Amino acid sequence: MDVECRELTGAQSRTRAAILDATASVLARDRTATLPEIAAAAQVARSTLHRYFADRDRLIYETTLDSIRVISDILAIAATDEGSAVDAMRRVITTLVPEGDRIVFLFADPAVLRDIPAEQLPDSAPVRNLIIRGQQEGVFAPELAPEWIRIALFGMLVKACSEAAHGTVPRHSIVPSIIRIFERGVTAG
């Protein structure tokens, strides 16, 4: 029986969280990573990983749900409805980038979200509403569909975080680069 099926102690909760975090990080870098590789990244024995998650499918499903929760919590912290739309978008980008592995894990492969019930999918409303507000304030292009802007933003986040995870770009350069591209496009000046 999976440990997750009953009440967890503090130590068990921390172990489970470490496994979920390691799973998102490892699979963000290598979708074919093995359970032993994930266990090593979580610094637990394979038997411990199997005690918490019966199989790979269950582990990925639970990591997906946990990653959705983390992203939702981050968007709440970013306070997308406070301040100017530009400042709020900067907060969104700044608070999402440190969870880059979870963003890559969730959004780089559409199959990850395939088996998640609709009511548990990531809520895109906070970011979409922020974009609409920015269009109304005249700071985001009104001729672009809000959903298109949201998808472009997450595309940049996924690509930048993936490149940083693979060492292609320095992690510290992601936030200013995405903000610059988002606010000014790719034109010089």
Distance CA(33)–CA(37), nearest Å, equals 6
pTM, 2 dp: 0.88
State pLDDT tens for residues 156-175. Answer: 999 999 999 888 999 999 99
What is the 8-class DSSP label of residue 8?
P
Closest CA to 25 of 40, 47, 10: 40
Q: Which domains, and CATH codes, for the chain?
A: 3-184 (1.10.357.10)
Determine the pLDDT at residue 10. Answer: 87
Mean pLDDT split into 10-residue runs, the chain, 189 residues: 65 94 96 95 95 94 96 94 95 96 94 92 94 93 93 95 91 93 72
